[in-house]
Structure 1
């Protein structure tokens, strides 16, 4: 396909798929001044403060926290799994979907075959764009979207 033909096809399909939709707009006014943007110095200071708090928590409790985890926000670290020598199956394994699920013991599970796969078996007919032949196009539709604009003290729309 020539470059010119490709551009014309893209333009035609773009015009077909464009559906102008009136969106609801909402202006939210806040009576406070706009907060300052975080500078590199502020981010560095906050990161150092977080590291200091996590180190203090480690020394106090022996539990190491990662970035963003704080015990004051109710974070409970996971207990490490004790090492085991082998795996014991507590329940039989299932194969299939929904009510068609069959249960098998772990030794028999590898012998079970799953039927009704979502993958196509054999060759599939595709059109020149790589879509399935005879497939219905997706339904055109819109969902309502509310666009919010936040204005702080002293700012004009």
Structure 2
């Protein structure tokens, strides 16, 4: 089980790896004054690291294009942006500390313990929703765009 959202998948194509790399490059904005495209990031030969070209991207797409028989395979990994993961980790630690401090203060009463446990559970659920919902949306959008480019004949 991963603590942070993470996903991986593969896309297959009958095109050569160089053709796929050229299609992925067409999707990436090059520089600040260039026409806006679906992604921004780094391309290095057959490897790339991209984020969606939106105001607040949550997922980072790390990919590698390889030869596979008569075509190619694109291996994709999706991970949470490090800055966002660090922020949410600090946020979650502060809420956990506050819940533990309240639990210690309310430990003399059974109702207080139950209340602290419910508050802790709600906090964990809220943190999980904050992590996974925007991440999954970013992954779905990025995967649709990349799949269309890779499978284009």
Which has the larger share of helix? Answer: 2
Q: Which has the higher contact order (CA 8 A, sep 6+)?
A: 1
Per the shorter chain, which TM-score range? under 0.3
Q: TM-score, with normalisation over the residues of structure 1?
A: 0.20
